Amino acid sequence: MSTALVLGGGLAGFLAAAALAPHARQVTVIERGNLPDGPVPRREVPQGHFGHILLGGGADALDSLLPGTVDALHAAGAHHRRIPSGLLMRLGPGWLPDHDSTAYLIACSRHLLDHVVRERLSGLAVAVRTRISVLGLLGGAGRVDGVLVENPDGTRETLPADLVVDATGRHSRTPEWLRTLGSEEVREETVDAGLAYAARLFDAPGGNDGFPVVSIVPVPGRRAPGRGATVIPIEGGRWIVTLSGTRGGEPSRSEAGFDAFLGSLDHPVVRGLVRAARPIGPIRTCRSTLNRRRFYEDGGPAGLTAVGDAVAALNPVYGHGMTVAAQCAAAMRAVLRGEGLHPGVGASIQRRIAQVIDTPWNMAKEQDRGFPGAQSNGLSANGPMDRLARRYGDRLARAALTDPAVSAAYFDVFALTAPASRLAAPAVAFAALRPRRRRPPTAAEAIGRHRRVVELAGQL
Q: What is the pLDDT of residues 293-335, one digit of tens each?
A: 999 999 889 999 999 999 999 998 888 999 999 999 999 999 9
Domain membership of residue 207 (yes or no) is: yes
Of 249 and 156, more confident: 156
Number of structural domains (the chain) is 3
In a domain, 384, yes or no: yes
Q: Give whole-number Cα distances, 32 to 6, 139, 174, 400, in Å.
A: 12, 22, 15, 44
% pLDDT > 70, the chain? 97
Q: Indicate the average pLDDT of the chain.
A: 91
In the predicted structure, residue 365 carries a pLDDT above the cut 60: yes
From CA 170, how far away is CA 248, in angstroms rounded? Answer: 23
User: 218 and 118, same structural domain?
Assistant: no
CB 402 within 8 A of CB 97: yes
Query: Does 118 share its domain with 143?
Result: yes
| Residue 140 pLDDT | 93
* Residue 437, domain extent: 380-443
What is the predicted pLDDT for the residue at 281? 87
Q: What is the dihedral of CA 75, 77, 82, 86, to 10 degrees?
A: 150
Q: Do residue 257 and residue 401 come from a single domain?
A: no
Q: Is 387 left (phi over 0), alpha (psi -120 to 50) or beta?
A: alpha
Where residue 343 sits, what CATH number does that domain have?
3.50.50.60
Identity of the amino acid at 10: G
If one compares 45 and 374, the residue with the highest pLDDT of the two is 374
**Which residue from 57, 53, 54, 55 is spatially nearest to 418, judged by alpha carbons?**
57
pLDDT of res. 150:
96
pLDDT for position 204: 93
State the amino acid at position 137 in one-letter form: L
**pLDDT at residue 192 is higher than 70:** yes
Q: Are residues 37 and 153 in the same domain?
A: yes
- Residues 19-36 have a mean pLDDT of 94
Helices (H), 151-254: 174-180
Inside any domain, residue 98: no
% residues pLDDT > 90 (the chain): 68
Phi then psi for 150, rounded to 5 degrees? -115, 130
Is residue 41 domain-shared with residue 115, that is, in the same domain? Answer: yes
Can you give the CATH number for the domain in which 219 is found? 3.30.9.90
Under the banding of pLDDT at 50, 70 and 90, the label for residue 411 is very high
**Is residue 421 predicted with pLDDT exceeding 70?**
yes
* Whole-number Å distance between alpha carbons of 244 and 107: 18
Res 1 pLDDT > 70: no
User: 265 with 390, same domain?
Assistant: no
CA 21 – CA 355 distance, rounded (Å): 23
293 and 357 in contact (C-beta within 8 Å)?
yes
Q: Say whether pLDDT at 100 is over 80.
A: no
Does 437 score more than 80 pLDDT? no
Global pTM value: 0.93
Confidence of residue 208 (pLDDT cuts 50, 70, 90): very high
Other residues' Cβ atoms within 10 Å of the Cβ of residue 435: 4
Are residue 427 and residue 409 in the same domain, yes or no? yes
Please indicate, yes or no, whether residues 36 and 136 belong to a single structural domain of this protein.
yes
228 - beta bridge partners? 244
Residue 94 lies in a domain: no
For the cut 70, the answer to whether the pLDDT of residue 379 exceeds it is no
What per-residue confidence (pLDDT) applies to 46? Answer: 65
pLDDT band at 346 (very low <50, low <70, confident <90, very high): very high
Output the pLDDT for position 242.
94
- Give the pLDDT score at 73: 97
- Residue 314 shares a structural domain with residue 266: no
Res 370: pLDDT = 82
Helix (H, G, I), strand (E, B) or coil at 359: helix
Give SS3 for 160: strand
Please report the pLDDT score of residue 38 as a whole number. Answer: 85
Q: Tell me whether residue 73 is in a domain.
A: no
278 and 418 belong to one structural domain:
no
When pLDDT is averaged across residues 456-460 and rounded to a whole number, the result is: 75
Q: Is 417 contained in some domain?
A: yes
Q: Is the pLDDT of residue 395 over 90?
A: no
Judgement on whether residues 326 and 355 belong to the same structural domain of the protein: yes
**pLDDT for 36-77, tens place per residue?**
888 887 777 767 677 889 999 999 999 999 999 999 999 999
